[in-house]
A = this chain, B = another copy of it.
Amino acid sequence: MAQKIKLSTIADALGVSTATVSLALRDSPLVADSTRERIKEHARAIGYIYNRRAASLRTSRSGIVGVVVHDIMNPFFAEILKAIESELDRSRQTFLLSNHYDQLEKQRNFIDTLLQLGADGVIMSPAIGTPREDIQMLEENGLPAVLVARSVEGAGVPVFRGDDSYGIGLATNHLISLGHRRIAMIGGTDQTSTGRHRYQGYVLAMEKAGLHVQPDWRIPGPRTKQAGFEVSGQFLALPDKPTAAVCWNDLVAIGLMNGIARAGLVPGVDVSVTGYDDLEEAAIATPALTTVWNGQSDVGRRAARALLDRLNGVAVKVSQELIKPELHVRQSTGKPVERK
């Protein structure tokens, strides 16, 4: 590679100062039109590459926004990320993505990196066990944060998430209205706020309908298709044979349905199954999945906007923004059928 081209290379070539070049390239009205055009034209011609590190060192604005979630390959987060991406793209922010896989240490490493790079802000779905101090520390170090999907008590930053308790209630009530009395809940964990909210919503709906909640009918843990598939045997062997399963999310529901089909039963007929999230895949699953739309794109879009607002000095209220879920009824739920 040839000699490194910098502002002063251009300035020297055109007989102007670096200040003028710097202003011209950023379209400052302080520079005469003709000067600006000459400079921009020349910069393009010689292949000048703007050095953001130098600029950022000077201005202490990096144009980088960090996004960290449990697993970017999880389609639930994927939909949130797409919304964030298109929002950030519009304001020409670079976004730095990372998985924490619910490991606090990975999350901390990533946050360290953001601080070292002078990131402008961060959007996160906090790892299980994130103490509020971890979030508060961000603000103290000038890194504004916004949470998605999960909340952290007392962290004092905006949170955008679906109304999980209400949403799972929609699914549970739908099954109850079909006549189901013995309804299991498969997947999720009490270690996340989301997990607690969904379980509470399920319990609440059952109790409101005067139905007995049997602790055995809860199989906590699964959050993936694979895991849903693996617990299908356990589900089918549950005491008193529940006629329906409220699943933690669509992935678990689809895995569970695959397992039920392998066992020779017909999901949607012999056993009713509900999902959560309404991923694209829910509509084309066999049978098509009855599930709860969780507003992923809303969550992503609104979180990104809130962060951008903060970066631009607009006040953002620190509150829980609950997106209202909706029930989408398809083929995986029907009237209860007793198994032997």
Q: Which residues of A contact B (CB under 8 A)?
A: 1, 47, 49-54, 56-57, 62, 72-73, 75, 78, 81-82, 85, 94, 96-97, 99, 112-113, 115-118, 140-142, 225-226, 229, 255, 258-259, 261-262, 280-281, 284-286
Contacts and interface: CB of A to CB of B under 8 A. Distances in A.
Contacts of A285: 258
Contact of A113 (B94, B97, B140, B281): B94
A313 B141 CA distance: 36
Given A1-B141, A49-B141, A97 B97 contact: yes
A50 B116 CA distance: 5
Contact of A73 (B47, B75, B96, B140): B75
10 contacts: A1-B141, A1-B142, A49-B141, A50-B116, A54-B57, A72-B73, A73-B73, A96-B96, A96-B97, A225-B281
A7 to B, nearest CB: 13
A284 B226 contact: yes
B284 A118 contact: no
Contact of A284 (B1, B47, B50, B258): B258
Given A258-B284, A258-B286, A62 B53 contact: yes
A75 B50 CA distance: 35
A53 B57 contact: yes
Q: Is the interface of A mostly helix, strand, loop or mixed?
A: helix
* Residue of A54, A72, A142, A286 with most chain B CB atoms under a 10 A cut-off: A286
Given A57-B54, A85-B99, A49 B116 contact: yes
Contacts of A53: 53, 56-57, 62, 117-118
A237 to B, nearest CB: 19
Report, nearest first, the 7 A-B pairs whose CB atoms are least far apart: A73-B78, A52-B116, A229-B284, A97-B97, A53-B53, A53-B57, A261-B286
Contacts of A96: 94, 96-97
A182 B211 CA distance: 56
Contacts of A229: 284
